Amino acid sequence: MKITIVAGSNHSAATSTRLAAYIQHLAMQEQHDVALLDLFRTPLPFYSPEVEGDTHPALEAFKRAMLSADAIVLATPEYHSGMSGVLKNALDHVGQDHFKNKAVLSISSSGGAVAVSSLTQMQTTVRNLHGINCPEWISIGGDQRKSFRVDASFEDIQPDIDKRIRRVVGSFLTLAEQLSGRA
């Protein structure tokens, strides 16, 4: 399957982006074709209803990757009990054509224990875009984020967190295969 992961942080050492990279690694081990779009490294212009067409090269590539994906992963830091503005702006550029009937996994990193608020908000947005929310999500909060510092290797991820991530990614991939008619 073709999977597009959108990393919605706007800083270089984001733990949510590192978690996104780990999910890319796990899905590639299962022979999936996975693109990680990091909105810090490849920023998108602000959405405006007054701008027509996809003349911005990064925006064109973003829309193409979303349209061609069989399944999508959205990653965000939890900001003020919601998703980042950077991720929301990216989602404002796309619509139901990009999401309809595709499995979508939401993942988030928070300073507090659990990133429930941003994850709930992302699932609401996905529902509006007619994507199919994976019933499970991944939250890393507080000290759990240490495993996802840029100087930590994937082998250093705490075993209990790793087990949970692998289980959720497994159920996401199963749902995605069913929805894309590959299972």
Cα 69 to Cα 65: distance, rounded to the nearest angstrom: 6
Instruction: Scan residues 145-164 and list those touching ligand FMN (CB under 6 A).
Output: 145
109 DSSP β-pair partners? 77, 140
Q: Which is nearer to ligand FMN, 86 or 168 (by Cβ)?
A: 86
Q: Which is nearer to ligand FMN, 11 or 41 (by Cβ)?
A: 11
C-alpha distances out from residue 39 to 12, 19, 62, 178, Å: 10, 14, 10, 29
Q: Which of 1, 5, 6, 16 binds ligand FMN (CB under 6 A)?
A: 16
Contact between 165 and 23 under an 8 Å Cβ cutoff? The reply is: yes
Q: Which of 134, 146, 144 is nearest to 170 (CA)?
A: 134
Q: Which is nearer to ligand FMN, 148 or 176 (by Cβ)?
A: 148
Instruction: Scan residues 73-92 and list those touching ligand FMN (CB under 6 A).
Output: 77-81
How many residues in the chain?
183
Query: How is residue 57 written in tokens?
Result: 């090269």
Site string for ligand FMN, 108-147 (x = CB under 6 A): -xxxx--------------------------------x--
Number of residues that bind ligand FMN (CB under 6 A): 15
Query: How is residue 67 written in tokens?
Result: 């349209």
Q: Which is nearer to ligand FMN, 77 or 131 (by Cβ)?
A: 77
Q: How far is the CB of 74 from ligand FMN (least distance, A)?
A: 13
Cα 13 to Cα 40: distance, rounded to the nearest angstrom: 10
Give the footprint of ligand FMN on this chain (CB under 6 A): 9, 11, 14-16, 77-81, 109-112, 145
